[in-house]
Amino acid sequence: MPIFIVDDDAAILSSARFMLEGEGYTVATFESGSKLIAAFPQAKPCCIVIDYVLPDMTGLDAYERVRSSGGTAPVIIITGHPSAAIREKVRQAGLPLVEKAFVEDLLGAIEAIGPLH
């Protein structure tokens, strides 16, 4: 099962894919929340990494829509702008938040979920 990464920044998608595939994970990328949501309910990712700021919705909106579409994979929110308000919203949703200077933090958060491959 792949790890899904959702971000409108091509450089982030590329670097995250490179890092995770180097660790043996399969990765699928999406440039918007709507493209992610369109993959459900057929999609069966082992984990979803969603940028908080997307062009068409927030990462939390995408998370809620994935859940309402039947998605059950663990979700990690990433952001390049970790304001107190964003931190609180993500905390209230019960999700981990990782800053985009994240290579080691993201890998640690994914591995904390448990065996995915």
pLDDT in tens, 22-68: 999 999 999 999 999 999 888 899 999 999 999 999 999 999 999 99
pLDDT score for 111: 78
The Cα-based distances of 39 to 34, 55, 66, 93 in angstroms read 9, 18, 9, 22
Q: Is the pLDDT of residue 102 over 70?
A: no
Q: Where are the domains of the chain?
A: 3-112
User: What is the full DSSP assignment across 76-104?
Assistant: EEEES---HHHHHHHHHTT--EEESS-HH
Query: What six digits make up the tokens of 46?
Result: 């082992």
> Could you give the 3-state DSSP secondary structure of residue 115?
coil
Instruction: Output the CA torsion sign for 52, 58, 61, 63.
Output: negative
Q: Is the pLDDT of residue 76 over 80?
A: yes
- Biggest distance spanned by C-alpha atoms of the chain: 35
Q: What is the CATH number of domain 3-112?
A: 3.40.50.2300
Q: Would you place residue 96 in the very low, low, confident or very high pLDDT band (cuts 50, 70, 90)?
A: very high
- Dist. CA 106–CA 2, nearest whole Å: 15
Tens digits of residue pLDDT in 104-115? 567 677 778 777
